Amino acid sequence: MTAVYIHIPFCEHICYYCDFNKVFLEGQPVDEYVDLLIKEMEMVTKRHTMSPVETVFVGGGTPTTLNEAQLAKLCSSISRLFPMTENAEFSFEANPGDLSISKLQVMKDYGVNRLSMGVQSFNNELLKKIGRIHTVDDVYQSVNNAKQVGFENVSIDLIFSLPGQTEADFEDTLTKALDLDLPHYSAYSLIIEPKTIFYNLMQKGKLILPGEDAEANMYEKLMSTMEKHGRKQYEISNFAKPGYESRHNIVYWSNEHYFGFGAGAHGYIGETRYANYGPLKKYMQPLQNGDLPTFQQKELSLKEKMEEEMFLGLRKVAGVNKAHFQAKFGQSLDATFANAIDKTIEKGWLESTPESVRLTRRGRFLGNNVFQEFL
């Protein structure tokens, strides 16, 4: 499978929890960035024979901060440089409030067929508290606009265990999210990352979080509620109606190859993982001089590839397939990771069948502890 990730680093506002590569939009050289991003894609496609692409994901930052002309320029270049398979998935990340009918129409006209919206909560007070600038009304308006333009495959992201959030509040958010009757939902527990506003507040003792028990209860409520509403959990944080699973993310969790373009983007081609410069100037300068903006390349050893196969693959509810592992690496999964498998089965975190190893329901609560055992 050929997969492509494209990064747009601009945001109209910086959320308090976000550690993705992003910059405040105002005063940035957005037009020049789009031109150089297209140049990077042209340079790479000249060096690689591209088979038809099955999934393109434009993420950020906030890709929908681009205006209609910039969106059209980017999308037309994607279509020109990456011929897609007939049923390819072409996704855009979006913020509620940015999704005007005119922007949606541009995306639709160029073949975008999936939207992923960062909603996070259906509580206006909480949205303010975490640094979001959209309101709940913006969410409803954006979903309506998307449906009006003809987008059926719409996903929303939620975050739980937010500062000051109660279990009842998260339950209310879940109810409102499911009332929209969308085919896909992602929900993540808040993680406090270094270099974020929340991290600084936490260091000063000014960030009050719900605590581990409440977080576990919210996750349990998430899993049972999604199940009840016909959204099957297929990964630790992702739920979908059958056929609407995110094919792009499945590429990552299946440890398959993908191209990464844009400031701070990562890719994995052949034996090599690579990363682009993150800061805008550092990303743009090599391209202005006719060079690629890659600052890091690492060729993976067999051991590293097998470890990645496990800690990425175990995120999927289906787990890691033993026959696939054997075919891919020429080694038995059971023999290679015997100690880690025995240890995690003993703790009730993992189960092993003749076909696969996968997290137990309890193991899903402790994913990072499980993954650590395979490193």
- Quote the percentage of the chain above a pLDDT of 70: 98
How does pLDDT run across 27-86, given as a tens digit for each residue? 899 999 999 999 999 999 999 988 999 999 999 989 999 999 999 999 999 999 999 999
Mean pLDDT of the chain: 94
If residue 109 lies in a helix (H) or strand (E), which one and from where to where?
helix 101-109
If residue 359 lies in a helix (H) or strand (E), which one and from where to where?
strand 356-359
Asked if the model's pLDDT at residue 222 lies above 80, the reply is: yes
From CA 161, how far away is CA 81, in angstroms rounded?
A: 41
- The number of beta carbons lying within 10 Å of the beta carbon of residue 327 is 9
How does pLDDT run across 345-363, given as a tens digit for each residue? 999 999 999 999 999 999 9
From CA 320, how far away is CA 343, in angstroms rounded?
A: 17
pLDDT of residue 13: 74
How does pLDDT run across 255-289, given as a tens digit for each residue? 999 999 999 999 999 999 999 999 999 999 999 99
Section 2-21 average pLDDT? 83
Tokens encoding 131:
């640094």
How does pLDDT run across 185-212, given as a tens digit for each residue? 999 998 877 877 777 877 887 777 888 9
- Quote the percentage of the chain above a pLDDT of 90: 85
pLDDT of residue 278: 95
How does pLDDT run across 138-161, given as a tens digit for each residue? 999 999 999 999 999 999 999 999
Tokens encoding 303:
């051991």
pLDDT of residue 338: 97
Give the rounded distance of the alpha carbon of 219 from its chain centre. Answer: 19
pLDDT of residue 192: 75
- The number of beta carbons lying within 10 Å of the beta carbon of residue 285 is 14
Tokens encoding 46:
């000249």
List the beta bridge partners of residue 5.
57, 260
pTM score, two decimals? 0.95
From CA 290, how far away is CA 163, in angstroms rounded?
A: 46
Specify the CATH number of the domain 316-372: 1.10.10
Could you state, in order of their start, the residue ranges of all structural domains in the chain?
A: 3-253, 316-372
pLDDT of residue 121: 97
CB 215 within 8 A of CB 160: yes
Confidence of residue 1 (pLDDT cuts 50, 70, 90): confident
Asked if the model's pLDDT at residue 94 lies above 80, the reply is: yes
Asked if the model's pLDDT at residue 16 lies above 70, the reply is: no
Section 326-338 average pLDDT? 97
pLDDT of residue 231: 98
Asked if the model's pLDDT at residue 22 lies above 90, the reply is: no
Q: Which fold has domain 3-253?
A: TIM Barrel (3.20.20)
